[in-house]
Structure formats: C-alpha cells, structure tokens
Chain A
C-alpha cells in the first residue's frame, strides 16, 4: 500500500465517522453511506477498476472519469444549495416582515 492510498483512506474514514455521528437516525442514509464508503475504498485500493470502467464508457483514464463525474455532482450540489439558501431567505423574510408589521408605529 503506497502513501496516497493511506492518505485517501484516512480521509474517507474521517468523513465516514463524521457522517455516522450526524446521520445515525435513518437506515436508508446509513446503507447509502456504507455503499459510498465501500465504493470509495475499493476504488482507492484497486484504481485499475476505474480504468476499466472508463475504457468501457469511452473515457481515456479512470482519473478523468472520476473528474467528469465530480463536476456533474458538484453542479447538482451547488443548485441544491442555492435552492436551500433561497428557501431560507424566504423564511427569514417572512419572519422579519411579520415582526416589522407588528411593530409598525401608529401615525404620530
């Protein structure tokens, strides 16, 4: 096992512990997380698999395939986060507006 593998697996382990501490209430989340961790560890230990997958999909290298997929996933995550932020903004607006209307002073 070489240095990069130890580094990546340590990173995955830390992320896994962190998520397990936060998401322990839902069975679906735990199964999904276990699958993702298992996939990550397998790909780190046997990078040859990503190369085979890449060749099968018509991409040059396994690392490139991971890179392309990451971009897609990040776009998705950014959009979800924006939607979440807008929703939060709407909630804050509702609360602040209600307070402003309640506190509006009478004509002096």
Chain B
C-alpha cells in the first residue's frame, strides 16, 4: 500500500435527528482513525453537539433536504478542501470505522474509482432480519433493473470514492434514491467499482431509523421520476 497522507481523506457523515449518544459514539470511533471528518447536519431538531477536535468540520442545512442532498453537500465541501479520497459513513452506528482502510485500499492502489461496502460478501458480516434481507434483495433487483449493475448489497451507506469519481457523482436525488443514482454515475462515467466486505451492525436504534417498506416504494417512485425528468 502507498504511504497514507491522511490529510486528504475525508469521511462524510450525514446526520439527521440522530440520538446524541449514538452520534457521539460514531464520532469517537471515527476520531480513532487519522482522517478528516465532515459532519453534515440535515437540519436536525435542536441542532447537534460535537466534541471539539481539529479534524471535524460541521455543515448545517437550514432546512431538511434528505440524505442524498446531505451527502452531496458533504462531498462538495470535501472537494473544496482538496480531498483526494472521500468516504460516506452513516451516523447511526451501523458501520465500523475499522472497515475504512479496506475500503480505501483499492482506490489508493488505482484498482478502483469507487468501492461499495457489502454486508453479504462474507457470511456473518451482518445481523439483518429476514424482512430486511428480502427488502435488500428486492432493492438489488430494482438496482439491476435501472442500472444493469447487480450488486450483492443494494443500499449500504459505506462507500469510498476517489476525487475524480466524486466529481462525477453529482447527486440530484435529495432523498434515498441517491444510492441508485451513484450506480447510474458508475455506469455513465464508466467508473471502476468494487464491492468490499464490511460489517453492518443492526441495533434496535439503527433499525428504527432504517428503511421501511413504505420508504422503499418511495425510492422506487423517485427513481421512475428521475428517469422521466432528467
């Protein structure tokens, strides 16, 4: 692996109404790694409190826009700060910060432009319920239907992008359809992608914040509109 200049690695964490303790724990775990952290608050009620640290940036949306818009704000901010590698990381404690180096390695070795975490590549990397599994399998087919890419994990919030890839992935979908929109960008710009096994830990908390069946229908509808109007 190349020597790591971690100053140009930015972790983007979209935050919306996250429980204080959970967000703190996520940030504490991230601070153990030598990266810059961009917290993007999507207008959480009551704002958010962050530990004082020189490696943390905070952006705040004045009104709630959705996760796709939140990620895009973080991406644009990190690019403006000269980021060479960008990682998206959910705030709800489901990802492990220790998975990030493995996500970055293929980018740093020029083997891929974008890496997508997958909880299904290796057994035992997740504790998803069967209903969640069915939902993710359906999402996989929907992604395949819209993009022609058949991935093992449809909606995993942990991804890593090179600067060039991040510039091409300009998210227009404000809500959750951005996960598929990233695949559109991969297809359109011929980005080299790779799936990396990563752990996903579901807690009662992250489940309560996760995607419901109703939301999935919304995603599907957003995708159809995306195709119709773009």
**A and B are interacting partners:** yes
A62 to chain B, nearest CB (A): 33
Query: What residues of chain B have their CB less than 8 Å away from a CB belonging to chain A?
Result: 40, 52-63, 65, 69, 72-73, 76-77, 80, 172, 174, 225, 228-229
Instruction: Determine how close the nearest CB of chain B comes to the CB of A34; give it in whole angstroms.
Output: 32
A83 surroundings in chain B (CB, below 8 A) = 229
Nearest 7 interchain pairs by C-beta: A107-B54, A100-B59, A104-B59, A97-B73, A93-B69, A96-B61, A96-B62
Count A/B pairs, Cβ under 8 Å.
56
Task: Confirm or deny: A90 has a beta carbon within 8 angstroms of a beta carbon on chain B.
Answer: yes
> How far apart are the CA atoms of A104 and B57 in the complex, in Å?
7
Name A93's contact: one of B58, B65, B225 (CB within 8 Å).
B65
Instruction: List the A residue with the shortest CB-CB distance to B55.
Output: A107
Contacts of B174 in A (CB 8 A): 89, 93
The residues of B that contact A89 with a CB separation of less than 8 Å are 65, 174
Which chain B positions have C-beta within 8 A of A90?
A: 172
B75 shortest CB reach to chain A, Å = 10
B69 touches A97 (CB 8 A): yes
Alpha-carbon gap, A90 to B63, bound state (A): 13
A82 within 8 Å of B by Cβ?
A: yes
Instruction: Give Cα distance in the complex from A103 to B229, angstroms.
Output: 32
Shortest distance in angstroms between B50's beta carbon and chain A's nearest beta carbon?
Answer: 8
Contacts of B72 in A (CB 8 A): 97
- CA–CA, A60 to B118, complex, Å? 58
User: Is there an interface contact between B57 and A107, defined as CB atoms closer than 8 Å?
Assistant: yes
List, in ascending order, chain B residues with CB within 8 A of A86's CB: 225, 229
Q: Which residue of A lies closest to B41 (CB)?
A: A100
**Chain A residues positioned under 8 Å from B53 (CB to CB):** 107-108
Q: Is the CB of B80 within 8 A of A101?
A: yes
Additional 5 contacts, C-beta under 8 A, given A100-B62, A106-B57? A96-B69, A97-B72, A101-B73, A107-B53, A107-B56
Please, how many angstroms separate the alpha-carbon atoms of A100 and B73 in the complex?
8
In the complex, which residues 75-108 of chain A have their Cβ closer than 8 Å to any Cβ of chain B? 79, 82-83, 86, 89-90, 92-93, 96-97, 99-101, 103-108
User: Which of B53, B59, B225 is packed against the most chain A CB atoms within 10 Å?
Assistant: B59
- B-chain residues with CB within 8 Å of residue A104 when the two chains form the complex: 57-59, 77
Known: A101-B80, A108-B52. A96 touches B58 (CB 8 A): no
